[in-house]
Amino acid sequence: MALPQERIYTIEDIYALPDGQRAELIDGQLYNMAPPMRLHQKISWKLHQEIGDYISSNNGNCDVYAAPFAVFLNKDNRNYVEPDISVICDKKKLDDRGCNGAPDWIIEIVSPSTEHMDYGIKLFKYRTAGVREYWIVNPIKSTVTVYDFEKEEKTGQYSFDDDIPVCLYEDLSICMAALLS
């Protein structure tokens, strides 16, 4: 007797969603996304602004994007994510649809409904896809967990009051408390 087959979703299923419905696709599994809370949006906007200003003032060659921004992690049609913040330094990865391949730096802002995804599934997926740096910002606990996938030197958990070192940029650190004040 054959076992029932679980449905494998594709990027075409993402684009076929009704207007206003958002989801991410990881290894063919569809994960619906709830609208973000106000604090989530404030953190995202402030981080986007801080990183963008740093890149501009240093004539950097990277681009920073805030969600919703499509990231096609692998060269397949079963992986599509919308990180809260994506920093991409290789312009060849960018096209009109989004980023094809791993961004250099991804920031996810935790909400109660995404905690399992951000600390588990996405952590593994981002690391194996080739993301260089991954931050998980947790506004409930006022912590930022940093993963330095290249050197592991700056991997650790920081409080919002700390100057959090950015792995991608040696001379940039971000204090979440100061950013949000």
What are the structure tokens assigned to 33, written together?
């996304």
Residue 11 to residue 97: CA distance in whole angstroms = 12
pTM (whole model) above 0.85: yes
Determine the Cα–Cα distance for residues 128 and 146; give it in Å rounded to an integer: 16
Ranges in the chain, pLDDT < 50: none
Alpha carbon distance, N-terminus to C-terminus of the chain: 62
Dihedral angle of Cα 8, 135, 42, 158, to the nearest 10 degrees: 140
pLDDT of residue 75: 83
Residue type, 101: G
Tell the residue number behind the tokens 């991608």, with chain if given: 168
H-state helical runs in 16-77:
38-57
Backbone phi, then psi, for 68, in 5-degree steps? -80, 125
Q: Mind listing the pLDDT tens digit for each residue in 157-166?
A: 999 999 999 9
Asked if residue 28 lies in contact with residue 105, where contact means CB atoms within 8 angstroms, the answer is no
- Predicted confidence at residue 20, as pLDDT, reads 87
